[in-house]
Amino acid sequence: MTLTQATPSAQATPTLAQQVRSDFPILHQEVNGKPLVYLDNAATSQKPIAVLDAIHHYYERDNANVHRGIHTLSARATEAYEAVRDKTAQFVNAASRNEIVFTRNATEAINLVAYAWGMGSLQPGDEIILTVMEHHSNLVPWQFVAQRTGAVLKHVQLNAEEGFDFEHFTSLLSEKTKLVSVVHVSNTLGCINPVTEICAAAHQVGAKVLIDGCQSTPHLPIDVQAIDCDWFVASGHKMCGPTGAGFLYGKQAILEAMNPFLGGGEMIQDVFLDHSTYAGLPHKFEAGTPAIAEVIALGAAIDYLTAIGMDKIHAYEEELTAYLFQQLATIPNLRIYGPKPQANGSGRAALAAFTYEGLHANDLATLLDQSGVAIRSGHHCTQPLHNQLDLSSTARASLYFYNTFEEIDVFVSALKETIEFFSELL
Ligand code: C6P
């Protein structure tokens, strides 16, 4: 590790990362003989002991199916599972616990809205506005809907800073617009989109708005009522929770008006041989046995993040962003995509997708792995965005609040060595 005088962590007060790192056992290991530097947090975050313990505790003491049994274990499991609905509602400031539907992940939550609302509500010629920076999870479901309903897809382009082009967005809005579905924080460009303004403009023409909060919920305080979105989706595994548990927020009146998505146990009121009546919210959208342990562990993740404070996490990540960009700027000819952060690190997420001319992103990621540094390479499920930027792949370092300034030093010096190594071969 190369500690320079400029490294902010050289200051006396321990940084947030220094305070929390012991909570994450996985971070304390060597990979390829070097201390692990995990910078693939946009793909999935690591889990604190509190989350690991919640899963263990549930299977050791409380395992039973929820909402079904009279017996004590079932009552305990149900209580723990339903308590997470309250926590999730509070975490994103939903008006009611009925507005939170547990799903496997954000992808399933978007598909839920696409099938349960889009397929039934859209007519030929209706317009759906997306952006060119969307993750495949917020493109493909709407392609299904457009193919089956005759609705038309429109895409907001990038502005000169490679962020959301608000002017282009408003030029696409019309009385034909029925849905706007937009990512809050881009997993590739790192831009933080103006979702409150997007919702206000879309609502003026009577359109509904879905916000993909996959990359914002782990990092920023979220207030769905202040944003005034109609739906909001997130994945628990990117916010210290386990895989298999995510959620859909929807305004109560809108969820009530929607048909169910999947049919089966748990989502019904009464079943006859030829028809059924459905349960009320939120159970109408939770068919079958849910991911009970995972949802309970998501609750532990929410408790953990809340105890730290999302404002504090966001503020620390801004410091990391400033330092990351400052250090990456010392590498000539490195191209980072998306808007630049302010000098204090504000204005974008703590991630950088980049290319170095002549070098393949997979080669960069492979050699960095030899130095213990985990980054992602590829199209990050934003293939249309990569096509638009005339790229087949980028390398991406994505940080979380347990990452340190020293890790940025290790990453940047390993990246410099990697570039030097390949440059000598060329
Ligand atoms: N992005 C990444 O490495 P799921 O798979 O449902 O948990 O998340 C999908 C998803 C949706 N929207 C955005 C903005 C995302 O970033 C992701 C997941 C990961 O960038 C895996 S491709």
Q: What is the pLDDT of residues 251-310, one digit of tens each?
A: 999 999 999 999 999 999 999 999 999 999 999 999 999 999 999 999 999 999 999 999
Say how many Å lie between the CA of residue 339 and the centre of ligand 1.
20
Query: What region does 33 belong to: left with phi over 0, alpha with psi -120 to 50, or beta?
Result: left
Per the annotation, the verdict on 199 as an active-site residue is no
Smallest CA separation from ligand 1 atom 3, residue:
43
* Domains detected in the chain: 8-40+309-425 (3.90.1150.10), 51-307 (3.40.640.10)
Smallest CA separation from ligand 1 atom 16, residue:
187
**pLDDT reported for residue 72:** 96
177-183/208-212 β-pairing: parallel
Closest CA to 288 of 318, 264, 308: 264
Per-residue confidence band for 2, with pLDDT thresholds at 50, 70 and 90? very low
Q: Residue type for 235, please?
A: S
Q: Catalytic: which of 199, 229, 240, 381?
A: 381
Tokens representing residue 201 in the block: 């403009």
Q: Which residues, at least 6 apart from 363, have a Cβ–Cβ distance to it below 8 Å?
A: 418, 422
Ligand 1 atom with the smallest distance to the CA of 235 is: 7
Say how many Å lie between the CA of residue 72 and the centre of ligand 1.
37
**pLDDT reported for residue 7:** 54
pLDDT at 38 over 90: yes
Q: b/e map of 313-343 (b: 16 or more CB within 10 Å)? A: bbebbbbbbbbbbebbeeeeebebbbbebee
* Cβ–Cβ under 8 Å, residues 264 and 273: no
Say how many Å lie between the CA of residue 61 and the centre of ligand 1.
33
- Is the pTM for the entire model greater than 0.85? yes
